[in-house]
Amino acid sequence: MKYELVSGLETHVELATNTKIFCSCTTEFGGDQNTHCCPICIGLPGTLPKLNQKVVDYAIMAGLATNCEISPISKMDRKNYCYPDLPKAYQISQYDMPLCKNGYIELSNGRKIGITRIHIEEDAGKLVHQRGNTYVDYNRGGVPLIEIVSEPDIRSVEEAREYVEKLQMIMRYIGVSDCKMQEGSLRCDVNISLRPVGQKEFGTRTEIKNMNSFTFMEKAMKYEISRQADLLDSGQPVVQETLRYIVEEDRTESMRGKEDANDYRYFREPDLVTIEVPAEKVEKFRAALPELPDPKRHRYIEQLGLPEPDANLLVKYRKVAEFFEAASDGVKNPKNVANCIIGQIFRRVENEAQKEAFEISIPPEYLRDLVLLLDSGKIKMNLLKSTLEKMLDSGKPASEFISENDLAGIDPDTLKTLCTQALEQNPNAVSDYLGGKEKALKSLLGHVMKNSRGRADAMEAEQLLIALIRS
């Protein structure tokens, strides 16, 4: 039987505040165990929480960036459960009156994945399992989170990945989180059920907890889809339960039965006041939002004439996009700037963290000035590329490496002389080309470009080489 996937994600995003949600402890990642916590973090009797205003502000920004309605009135609730990572035996979260609701993320296929709600809450501590013992590190306890809960609108593993990737980009663009999955500042709980194609009723769902890698999320989803399909095909029921993904064995395993909301015995947090968000404050945040990835991508394609793959690469990282726009200001063809970034510069900033930081040796103005020389015809692409490499090595502007002689270009007689020399000094390459080896022409062209120090026009030189060979 053919089955359709029905999936929804609960995405936890750690907010980039300096202090925790209810106290003044640092949110800095790392540090010795249990050194970033205080009596409020670990829930000692007699302590009282005080809500961090920045947490509310960041959550509003996240809601606006994901097309949510912002609730004028919301409140905090206690979510009760007994587990070692929460020493006070409850988590302060939001239940029936979340701060944001009814939003969506639009995928590249045009489908909109609904966002039921975005609420604020505190993170729990971390359990460390070593040699049969379990230790608790409360440094992470009280770090502010937003939980972004999607509708069960996801119908494929690919859609799930794109949805989370877009959330990650948006949160980074608006500056509310670094969303480093390897540090746990973005992680997902994935709900999965299957139903026969054409059936309207949902199947029984399972939840895979704490996915902090796109690759592992995809593998876990594929395994769980296959596992549930095998159960259904054999007439066995799918049990509603919470699962963990075992990376080494590429499989899921049961952690516990899946809880429902009534299992948590939610009630209003008595130690915190109601959250009121005036309409004028919402509009202030809306006006302050930066241009988001999707509108920026469309502008790059439609107004700047970039190919879609190039636009996707530039938009993915906010600092790369900002560098590109500053370097493109006033140039005739922004694609030349894009080619420099995606080609030569990206070779030097290979991983995601480096591209996110995008700390390179030259400011965008240096690249813009170099491309303007290309626009004016004063230099050719080969000289641009070789000069850019020197600029990136040294951090110096193009004027340090391009002389007046370089800017003068090459007259036709000099170009003919260089081409003739290339043919005379490389007879084997000439024979190979006449024998049908097209690559031999590139070798001859390289000789011309080297001897001209990149000043020759590559297309003109190639055409002249062919004419001289055939003459």
Residue 390: strand, helix, or coil:
helix
Judge if 34 and 142 occupy the same domain: yes
Judge if 438 and 340 occupy the same domain: no
Residue 289 lies in a domain: no
CATH number, domain containing residue 452 = 1.10.10.410
Domain that holds residue 313: 299-404
Euclidean distance between CA atoms 63 and 120, whole angstroms: 11
Phi, psi of 50 (to 5 degrees): -135, 120
Judge if 396 and 417 occupy the same domain: no
Judge if 268 and 332 occupy the same domain: no
Query: Which pair of tokens denotes residue 23?
Result: 């106290």
Euclidean distance between CA atoms 118 and 100, whole angstroms: 5
Query: Which pair of tokens denotes residue 313?
Result: 């690469």
Residue 291 lies in a domain: no
Judge if 400 and 416 occupy the same domain: no
Judge if 20 and 75 occupy the same domain: yes
Q: How many domains does the chain have?
A: 3
Length reported for the chain? 471
Residue 24 lies in a domain: yes
Residue 274 lies in a domain: yes
Rg of the chain in Å (alpha carbons): 29
Residue 294 lies in a domain: no
Domain end, chosen from 355, 379, 404, is at 404
Helices and strands (H, E) in the chain, number of each type: 16, 16
Judge if 278 and 418 occupy the same domain: no
- pTM score of the predicted model: 0.85
Euclidean distance between CA atoms 285 and 60, whole angstroms: 8
Residue 136 CB: number of other CB atoms within 10 A? 18
Residue 47 near residue 16 (C-beta atoms within 8 A): no
Residue 216 near residue 246 (C-beta atoms within 8 A): no
Residue 448 lies in a domain: yes
Residue 427: strand, helix, or coil:
helix
List the pLDDT tens digit at each of the 471 positions of the chain. 899 999 999 999 999 999 999 999 999 988 899 999 999 988 899 999 999 999 999 999 999 999 999 999 999 999 998 888 888 999 999 999 999 999 999 999 999 999 999 999 999 998 888 888 999 999 999 999 999 999 999 999 999 999 999 999 999 999 999 999 988 899 999 999 999 999 999 999 999 999 999 999 999 999 999 999 999 999 999 999 999 999 999 999 998 766 666 778 999 999 999 999 999 999 999 999 999 999 999 999 999 999 999 999 999 999 999 999 999 999 999 999 999 999 999 999 988 889 989 999 999 999 999 999 999 888 888 889 999 999 999 999 999 998 766 666 677 888 888 899 989 899 888 888 888 888 888 888 888 888 887 777 777 888 888 888 887
Judge if 337 and 451 occupy the same domain: no
Judge if 379 and 418 occupy the same domain: no
Please state whether beta strands 133-137 and 77-80 pair in parallel, antiparallel, or not at all (unpaired).
unpaired
Q: In Å, what is the CA distance from 180 to each residue of 151, 192, 316, 380?
A: 24, 24, 14, 41
Judge if 353 and 211 occupy the same domain: no
Name the DSSP class of 261. G
Specify whether the backbone of 412 is left (phi greater than 0), alpha (psi in -120 to 50) or beta.
alpha
Euclidean distance between CA atoms 203 and 216, whole angstroms: 24
Residue 184 lies in a domain: yes
How remote is the C-alpha of 269 from its chain's centroid? 35
Q: In Å, what is the CA distance from 379 to each residue of 23, 334, 384, 439, 455?
A: 59, 17, 7, 25, 6
Residue 290 lies in a domain: no
Residue 151 near residue 160 (C-beta atoms within 8 A): no
At residue 30, the pLDDT reads: 84
